[in-house]
Amino acid sequence: MKTFKKLKQFYWPFRKYFFTSLLFLVIVTASTVAYPIILQKTIDEVILKDQYSLIPYIAAVFLLIMIVKGFATYFHQYLGELFGIRSVYTLRDALYEKLQVLSFKYYDNAKTGDLMSRLTADVEGFRFFLSGGFAELLRILVLIVISLCVMLFYSVPLALVTMAAMPFLAVVVFRFDKRVHPAFRGIRKSFGRLNTRVQENISGMTTVKSLSREDFEIDRFSSNNNNYRQRYLDTSLLWAKYFPLMEFIGNVCAVSLLAFGGYLVINGQLNLGELVAFFSLVWYILGPLMDIGFVVNIFSQSKASGERLLEILDAEEDVKESARPIDSPIKGHVTFNDVTLTYTKNDDSALKNISFDAPEGKVIGLIGATGSGKTSITQLITRFYEPEKGEVLVDGIPVENYKFKTLRSHIGFVLQESFLFSTSIRENIAYGNPDLKEEQIIDAAKRAQAHDFIMEMPKGYDTMLGERGMGLSGGQKQRIAIARAICINPSILVLDDATSAVDMETEFKIQKALKEVMKGRTTFIIAHRISSLKHADEILVLEDGEIVERGTHEMLINNHSVYQRIYDIQYQDRDVIMNVANH
């Protein structure tokens, strides 16, 4: 029960539904045990003694018990479901909230499909036990206790003989639980991997088809699917091994009852009606005991699900907000003092001893080969990651002292891969500032050179986009992302290859518009094209996580080093193309 104790905060507030449901469960169980007693009275008092005048009264009592049981069953099931549904509602909210606060480091290793599986299948698995599993376990215990008390009332010797095999049944159930729980945990993990395979395949369908890898993907999915199938078959084999044994032990009890009970009836030590009632009651014990296997099954699945949910809830938040965070306006002065960043322990550092100063309103260009650390610098400003050593300052204050929302609401990002939501263009542009007026949204779109193509769409700004902006070109998605960044009116603007997906003409228009947007804002431009950052106040050239050169375009172009080499490669290619075109 350790897993359920850890998750107690989510279901304990709704305990009134649970305990009220249990009250009705006791009524249902007591009504069930009344059936054999009525049967015993009918045989011993009516049939054997010829008192047929009692039949209407017995029938009336029986009808009343059925009515009470019907109402009690209704309230028991409804309140039980209410308990489970409300509990997992708060649990699902907590899981989603936790996913929002976990740092990028967590998502670097997490699988999207697996997380989706946890928030859907595992949450439902846990709910299923809360709604019915707990109650079913208690129903079994109450039914066994009440039935055993009635049996002891009828005949203590017969009850003891009948129950002699029960310890063996308990041992079998315990051994079954020890083996079935790891099996169900394996099933849950396998299902998560299967989900991940489907999610990755659908997301990368363009790549799959363009490279004609459909057969390869089918084989990979089939392998995961086969693993999932095999785990279920292994679990089914456990059931096939243990349940016949449970049933055999139950039948031994029934045979013992008939043999010894028949002997007692013949010798006048037990009435015939009591033996018949005894036979019904023993199955009220044996049946639930064998049903414990099903409850153990539900419990094991729920426990496995709970453990996977706790892995999210207990995940370490390596980037935490200060106990007393600062909530004040940000002007945009950024300073790095001897900053080193390592993403994975014992791995090479992504940044090594980075130091620079970006005064308010200045434009900083970042250029270098892929993996040189350009994006890592901007991710430290927003505290997506924590540096291994050194400090990052904004307006002279360490970034860890700021409130997350305050810091990040003053930083506008336009990433290399623009993510758009499956909603209208208007809502995508105003996502960071939903209170914007229509004219402000349109102004931002115009500045990003997006207004014209938006107005050409069927419903203009109300046009609904497909998943991840499906239906738009890469350049169109990029311009909407730029408009979204403009809308939050940031003090710090980060353009991470923001114009990489547009043609030269559109890039020129966007650069012209961005010059107006960048006025008064500290701007970081990450680019591979020198044309995108020639106008920067300072350009930092990175190589293997270190700043190897710094200065303006004019200063670096004559240094005969890395920056000039990049410039020569880009502009020599352009000159060759121009010469070919002229001839």
For residue 391, give the nearest of 403, 382, 379, 400 by alpha carbon: 400
User: β-pairing, 546-551 with 538-543?
Assistant: antiparallel
Least confident of 217-221, 284-288, 525-529: 284-288
Sign of CA dihedral 453, 459, 465, 470: negative
Q: Which CATH number is associated with domain 2-313?
A: 1.20.1560.10
- 5-9, 155-159, 302-306, 502-506, range with the lowest pLDDT: 502-506
pTM of the model: 0.72
Fill in the amino acid letter for 410: H
Q: Where in the chain is the domain with CATH 1.20.1560.10?
A: 2-313
Tell me which of 345-349, 378-382, 562-566 is least confident: 345-349
What does the pLDDT look like over 59-77, one tens digit per residue? Answer: 888 889 889 989 999 999 8
Spatial contact of 507 and 499, defined as CB atoms under 8 Å apart: yes
Question: CA–CA separation, 408 vs 413, rounded Å?
Answer: 9
User: HSE-up of 134 (CA within 13 Å, CB side)?
Assistant: 23
What are φ and ψ of residue 335, in 5° steps? Answer: -135, 135
Question: What is the average pLDDT score of the chain?
Answer: 82
Q: Given 3.40.50.700, 3.30.950.10, 3.40.50.300, 3.40.50.720, which CATH number is that of 418-489?
A: 3.40.50.300
Q: What are phi and psi of 46, to 5 degrees?
A: -100, -60
Q: CATH 3.40.50.300: which residues of the chain?
A: 330-410+493-513+524-551, 418-489
- Choose between 436 and 346: higher pLDDT: 436
Q: Is the pLDDT of residue 191 over 50?
A: yes
**Chain segment 396-428, per-residue pLDDT in tens:** 999 999 998 888 888 888 877 777 888 888 988
Amino acid at 214: E
Whether 110 shows a pLDDT value over 70: the answer reads yes
* C-alpha to C-alpha distance for 250 and 290, rounded to whole angstroms: 8
Q: What is the mean pLDDT of residues 235-263?
A: 78
Q: Which pLDDT value is given to residue 580? A: 44
The predicted structure's pLDDT at residue 206:
58
Looking at domain 330-410+493-513+524-551, its CATH architecture is 3-Layer(aba) Sandwich (3.40)
Distances (CA, A) of 65 to 32, 57, 74, 145, 357: 9, 12, 14, 20, 83
Tell me, letter by letter, the H, E, C secondary structure of 67-93. Answer: HHHHHHHHHHHHHHHHHHHHHHHHHHH
* Tokens, residue 516: 């107006």
Estimate the share of the chain in helix, then strand, then coil, as percent rounded to the nearest 5. Answer: 65, 10, 20
Higher pLDDT, 414 or 82: 82
Burial status of residue 209 (CB atoms within 10 A of its CB: 0-12, 13-18, 19 or more): exposed
Q: Are strands 522-526 and 363-368 parallel, antiparallel or unpaired?
A: parallel
Both tokens of 385, joined, read 């990651």
Q: Which band of pLDDT confidence, cut at 50, 70 and 90, is reported for residue 581?
A: very low
Q: Give 469's pLDDT tier (boundaries 50, 70, 90).
A: low
SS3 assignment, position 268: coil
Q: Which of 181-195, 480-494, 544-558 has the lowest mean pLDDT?
A: 181-195
Which of 184-188, 262-266, 454-458 comes out lowest in average pLDDT? 184-188
CA distance 566 to 554: 14
Q: How far apart are the first and last CA of the chain?
A: 81
What is residue 572's predicted lDDT score, i.e. its pLDDT? 64
Tokens 């004040």 correspond to 328
- Give residue-wise pLDDT tens across range 271-291: 888 888 877 787 777 777 767
DSSP state string for 348-401: PPSEEEEEEEE-TT-EEEEEESTTSSHHHHHHHHTTSS--SEEEEEETTEEGGG
pLDDT of residue 531: 76
Residue range 141-157: average pLDDT?
83
Residue 212 is predicted with a pLDDT of: 67
Query: How big is the chain, counted in residues?
Result: 583
CB 28 within 8 A of CB 72: yes
List the Cα angle 408/414/418 in 5-degree steps.
115
334-341 and 389-394 strand pairing: antiparallel
> Mean pLDDT lowest for which of 262-271, 293-302, 329-338, 423-432?
293-302
Question: What is the per-residue pLDDT for 71?
Answer: 93
Q: How far apart are alpha carbons 273 and 155 in whole angstroms? A: 12
Strand ranges, E, within 217-319: none
447, 445, 449: which is closest to 463 by C-alpha? Answer: 445
Q: Quick one: average pLDDT of 366-394?
A: 89
- d(CA 275, CA 40) in angstroms, rounded, equals 8
Which pLDDT does position 479 carry in this prediction?
83
pLDDT at 211: 58
Q: What is the pLDDT of residue 398?
A: 92
Average pLDDT of the residues in 258-277: 81
